[in-house]
Amino acid sequence: MTAAPPPASASDGLDLGALRSEFPIFTARGPRFHYLDSAATGQICRAAAEALLAYETRGRANVKRGVYRLADEATQAFERARAEIAAYLGAREAREVVITSGTTHALNIAAHCLCARLRAGDEILLSLAEHHSNIVPWQLAGERVGAVIRAIPLDREGRLDLDRLGELVSRRTKVIAVTHCSNVTGAVTDIGRVREAAQSVGAVLVVDGAQRVPHGPVDVQALGCDLYAFSGHKLFAATGAGALWIRRELAEELPPFLGGGEMIRRVAIEGSTFAAPPHRFEAGTPPIGPALALGAAAAWLAGLDWPAIHAHEMALAGRLLAGLRTIRGIRPIGPEGLQARTPLVSFVVDGVHPHDVCQLLDERGVCTRGGHHCAQPLHEALGLEASTRASLALYNDEADVDALLEGLEDVVRRLA
The secondary structure element, H or E, covering residue 165 is: helix 165-168
Cβ neighbours for 307, distance < 8 A, ≥ 6 positions apart: none
Degrees (nearest 5) of the Cα angle 300, 217, 279? 85
Strand partners, 370: 388
368 binds ligand PMP (CB under 6 A): no
Range in contact with ligand PMP (rule: CB under 6 A) among 16-24, 51-59, 131-139, 268-276:
131-139
Residues 20-79 that bind ligand PMP (CB under 6 A): 39-40
Q: How near is the Cβ of 105 to ligand PMP at its closest, in Å?
A: 7
Can you tell me the distance from the alpha carbon of 112 to that of 143, in angstroms, rounded to the nearest whole number? 11
Our finding on whether 133 is near ligand PMP (CB under 6 A) is yes
Residue 108 found at the interface with ligand PMP (CB under 6 A): no
Active site residue 374: yes
The one among 38, 43, 108, 183 contacting ligand PMP by CB under 6 A: 183
Residue 67, classed as helix, strand or coil, is: coil
Measure the CA–CA gap between 153 and 156, rounded to whole angstroms.
Answer: 10
SS3 content of the chain, % helix, strand, coil (to 5): 45, 20, 40
Among the listed ranges 66-74, 101-109, 334-342, 387-395, the one in contact with ligand PMP (CB under 6 A) is 101-109
**By CB under 6 A, residue 390 contacts ligand PMP:** no
189 belongs to the binding site for ligand PMP (CB under 6 A): no
Is 391 a binding residue for ligand PMP by CB under 6 A? The answer is: no
- The smaller minimum CB distance to ligand PMP, of residues 63 and 210, is found at 210
Q: How many residues in the shown chain lie near ligand PMP by CB under 6 A?
A: 15
104 forms part of the interface with ligand PMP (CB under 6 A):
yes
Are 134 and 107 a contacting pair, CB within 8 Å? yes
Q: How far is CA 302 from the centre of its chain?
A: 17
Interface characters, 139-178, with ligand PMP (x: CB under 6 A) = ----------------------------------------
Contact 346, 334 (CB under 8 A): yes
Q: Which of 45, 225, 367, 374 is catalytic?
A: 374
Contact with ligand PMP (CB under 6 A) among 179, 189, 342, 387: 179
Binding to ligand PMP (CB under 6 A): which residues in 196-255?
Answer: 208, 210-211, 231
Strands 97-100 and 242-246: antiparallel
Nearer to ligand PMP, 102 or 354 (CB): 102
Task: Give the amino acid at 295.
Answer: G
Based on the shown chain and the rule CB under 6 A, indicate whether residue 102 belongs to the binding site for ligand PMP: yes
Distance in angstroms (rounded) separating the CA atoms of residues 337 and 323: 13
Of 265, 409, 250, 404, nearest to 326 by C-alpha is 409
Binding site for ligand PMP (CB under 6 A): 39-40, 102-104, 131, 133-134, 179, 183, 208, 210-211, 231, 374
Residues identified as active-site? 374
